[in-house]
Homo-oligomer: A and B are copies of this chain.
């Protein structure tokens, strides 16, 4: 235990932290412990790669599903479409290798676009990325739940509840901090890679030996739509767009470079290439195996002739391939499904690394609320995590955790940031080439190769963005097209606001000291001990003038206060202010304004006695009047508010809620006998 916590005189944040928070989230960490939280490569792979790798759990399925709309004959196009996706993946991975080298600070596409294309491009990329992170969580969790239900169809009725439950779980795991999360996440990611690879190899060997695995759905015919030539072409493009969901998550590494151990850049690049290679192999292998096994996966399973479309659950493509290869009830089938579900849920975790980090960068740059740049007890950006989690829960509930609908929204944002990031990199290399001296041959060669790679990347991703936009817009992507500009405008507005406030409060020659005219007003409702304490403390400060004010709402109460005042010989005069509308702050504000008009612009200190309670429910039983009065009086010029706490006995019930009284303090925080200062006065 840290010394600050064992120190008995220590009060405040630690002591008031509910035990539940400590158990769920863990002990607090000092700022120096940050370096120890950094990731070695073998841990960084599962953390940052689970998003990109897990995409192969849904990308082949969505690709084949779209082609199947045109009928089983269309499936012959799928190897070509899959090959295009893999080619794109290779280009994008190469492009991001360049980006990591050039911008290793973790700002990723946002930083690249902002630095090279200007503020507006940066804000748009940031907005696109924020939307993406939310959708990553939603899509991954929805697909994970889908795979769980494929293995255990009885859970179908709880689809949305399961999805929301998993998001909450992921939030809690992440609030504990990044390294512990990584340890817990490494095993399922490696299990997923291993088991799916084994499945692909076994399946393809069986095929080569003339005993191919056959999926149950191979027997179903398809009610194909009648398509024109143009529609057929569009369908192939749509299938390609959906297949591009395999690329989502590739950018995760570039946004997480600061979390890597040194040498950060090389480790991050190696992780990226490793991840890209594995993803490409798995995507190609799974698509091929699904074709071999004759998997028929339909957007609406009722279009499958022979499928019991009212009762039965349509298993995911992964489940169908696994069942065909290993048998539906086999241990290996359940291992594959469990690993797939686990890695998808962990993919959601990628966003819980990226979103808060981007949020803190945005907050640092003044584009997002400062609260996003505050590390919590466990050194993670807690606020960002909570916002991301809540947003994902809302998306999951609104779209009822339906994977195919969510995928439509997903890919746009990814390719907006891809494209702007790559464009920024193109500009970056061109500037580098301008600035480098013609003698620096090695650097020039590197810059040239960077320029070529990123130009290729930019061209490809822009073309795909156009295709995705055309093919997905009416299928829900318009929502993302609305969200990105709205978020961008908000961020620009926040930036402008912070700039104005900063301008307003920066120290300048206008600052000088010498406020005078020191008046104290103690607000009195009923004459009770808390009021007496406030008067005692006000007198201790020896203001120029001190008097009590009672706002008269009911004549009886006022008479009582006046009588008590005389009876107890209170040492300050009592003023009565009438309030026919039963307001407290307004008449007092008016009185203060008039007083200052008459006596010059003095500093008026208003003393408000406040109850401090031990339990949250006690606050329901006390009027929050003092707090509301304070809020309104603070709008009056020259006023400051002094809150004089009265610690009710119940504050003691909870260990450590209040400090130990010194000799001379009483339980309620009053000073009853006088310490050194008082003794000195006694002697004179």
Contacts and interface: CB of A to CB of B under 8 A. Distances in A.
B643 A643 contact: yes
A590 B9 contact: yes
A564 interface: yes
Contacts of A585: 12-13
B514 A529 contact: no
A375 interface: yes
B529 A507 contact: yes
Contacts of A564: 507
Contacts of A540: 515-518, 603
Given A537-B515, A635-B645, A601 B11 contact: no
Given A665-B638, A676-B600, A646 B605 contact: no
A62 to B, nearest CB: 34
B589 A517 contact: no
Interface in A480-526: 494, 497-498, 500-501, 504-508, 510-518
A118 interface: no
Interface stretch (A216-224, A317-325, A591-599): A591-599
A634 B621 contact: no
Contacts of A658: 635-637
Interface string A656-684: 01111111110011111111111101000
A9 B593 contact: yes
A602 B515 CA distance: 25
Interface stretch (A26-34, A232-240, A288-296): A26-34
A515 B674 CA distance: 7
Contact of A622 (B12, B370, B536, B670): B370
Interface string A541-572: 11110000000011000000000100010010
Interface stretch (A40-48, A168-176, A575-583): A575-583
Contact of A664 (B374, B539, B571, B601): B601
A35 to B, nearest CB: 14
A642 interface: yes
A109 interface: no
Given A507-B529, A659-B589, A635 B11 contact: yes
Contacts of A29: 581
Contacts of A596: 662, 675
A285 interface: no
Contacts of A542: 518, 542
A400 interface: no
A662 B599 CA distance: 11
A298 to B, nearest CB: 30
A369 B620 contact: yes
A647 interface: yes
Contacts of A449: none
A377 B580 CA distance: 11
A474 interface: no
A633 B15 CA distance: 12
A532 interface: yes
Nearest to A500: B649
A634 B612 contact: yes
B541 A11 contact: no
A590 B13 contact: no
Given A637-B669, A677-B602, A504 B648 contact: yes
Contact of A582 (B375, B529, B599, B638): B375
B527 A515 contact: no
Interface residues of A, number: 131
Contacts of A636: 11, 658-659, 669
A564 B508 CA distance: 11
B554 A528 contact: no
A549 to B, nearest CB: 14
Given A643-B634, A681-B516, A10 B590 contact: yes
Nearest to A633: B12
A659 B671 contact: no
A550 to B, nearest CB: 15
Contacts of A587: 4, 12
A394 interface: no
B31 A677 contact: no
A553 B31 contact: yes
Contact of A621 (B497, B529, B675): B497
A594 B7 CA distance: 12
Interface in A615-643: 618, 620-623, 630, 632-643
A330 interface: no
B674 A600 contact: yes
A540 B646 CA distance: 26
Contacts of A679: 600
A247 interface: no
Contacts of A536: 513-515
A676 to B, nearest CB: 4
Nearest to A520: B541
Given A634-B645, A642-B640, A506 B518 contact: no
B659 A599 contact: no
A110 B47 CA distance: 63
A299 interface: no
Interface of A: 2, 4, 7, 9-16, 28-32, 369-371, 374-375, 377, 494, 497-498, 500-501, 504-508, 510-518, 527-530, 532, 535-537, 539-544, 553-554, 564, 568, 571, 580-590, 593-594, 596-597, 599-603, 605, 610-612, 618, 620-623, 630, 632-649, 651, 657-665, 668-679, 681
Given A14-B581, A29-B581, A603-B671, 14 more contacts: A2-B581, A4-B586, A11-B590, A12-B586, A369-B620, A369-B621, A497-B618, A513-B532, A537-B603, A597-B662, A638-B662, A638-B671, A640-B645, A641-B642
In the A-B complex, the 5 residue pairs with the smallest Cβ-Cβ separation, listed nearest first, are: A600-B675, A12-B586, A601-B664, A600-B676, A634-B645
22 contacts: A9-B597, A10-B589, A10-B590, A11-B593, A11-B636, A12-B586, A12-B589, A13-B585, A497-B621, A501-B611, A505-B530, A541-B543, A544-B677, A600-B676, A601-B665, A603-B671, A612-B635, A636-B659, A637-B662, A641-B643, A642-B643, A643-B643
